[in-house]
Amino acid sequence: MPLSNSPPASRQTLASAELIRVAKEFGFEGIVAKRRDSLYEPGKRSGAWLKYRINKGQEFVIGGYVPDNPFDSIIVGYYQDGKLLYAAKVRNGFVPNTRREGAAKLRGLQIDTCPFANLPERKRTQWALTHEEMKNCVWVKPELVVQIEFGEWTPDGHLRHSRFVTLRDDKNPHEVIRES
C-alpha cells in the first residue's frame, strides 16, 4: 500500500506519457509540472516547478559551416522546388566526439559558392544570415543530412532553439523538404 496519496509510479508514467502526447497533438510548446504545495517564486529556481519542452524535429541538409575548432556551427536547409533554402545555423547539441565526426565528413566537400538560393538575407534578425556574416562561412556540397530538433519555425522561416541530434546516412539530401 502506498504511503502517500500519489498514484503508483507506473500510473504516473502512463499519465505523463498521455499528457505529453496530448500536448504534442495540440502543438503546445511544453508542460510545466508543479508540486501541489508550491508557490511561484519570481526570479528563483527551487525545483518545485519543472519545465518539459516539447520539440519538433526533422531532417535538414548541411550547406555550410562557420569554422572554429573544428567548427562553431553548421548551416542547414531544406529543398523546395529543387532549390536549397536556408533554415538555420545550428550550434547546440554537439559533444566533442560528434563535432569531430561531423568535421571529418565535411572535409573534402568544400565549394566556392553558397548553395542556398535564399542567401544572403537582407532583413537582419537574430536568425538571419547576412552578406557580412556569410564572409565567415565555409560552403559545402549539400550531401550530408542531419536530424535537428527545434522549438518552432519563426515567421521568417528560420528555426528557433535548434539542436543537432545526429548525422543521417539513410536519406537522399534532395528528398529533404520542410515538414508541416
| Domains contained in the chain, CATH given | 9-53 (no CATH), 56-175 (2.40.50.140)
pLDDT of 69-112, one tens digit each? 899 999 999 999 999 999 999 999 999 999 999 999 999 999 99
The per-residue pLDDT for range 97-155, each reduced to its tens digit, is 999 999 999 999 999 999 999 999 988 888 889 999 999 999 999 999 999 999 999 99
Residue 65: closest CA among 57, 73, 53 = 73
Q: What is the pLDDT of residue 10?
A: 60
Q: Where are the beta strands (DSSP E) in the chain?
A: 30-34, 49-53, 56-67, 71-80, 83-90, 110-111, 138-150, 152-153, 159-160, 163-168
The angle formed by the CA atoms of residues 43, 13 and 36, to the nearest 5 degrees, is: 40
pLDDT band at 7, cuts 50/70/90?
Answer: low
> What's the confidence (pLDDT) of residue 13?
64
Output the pLDDT for position 29.
Answer: 79
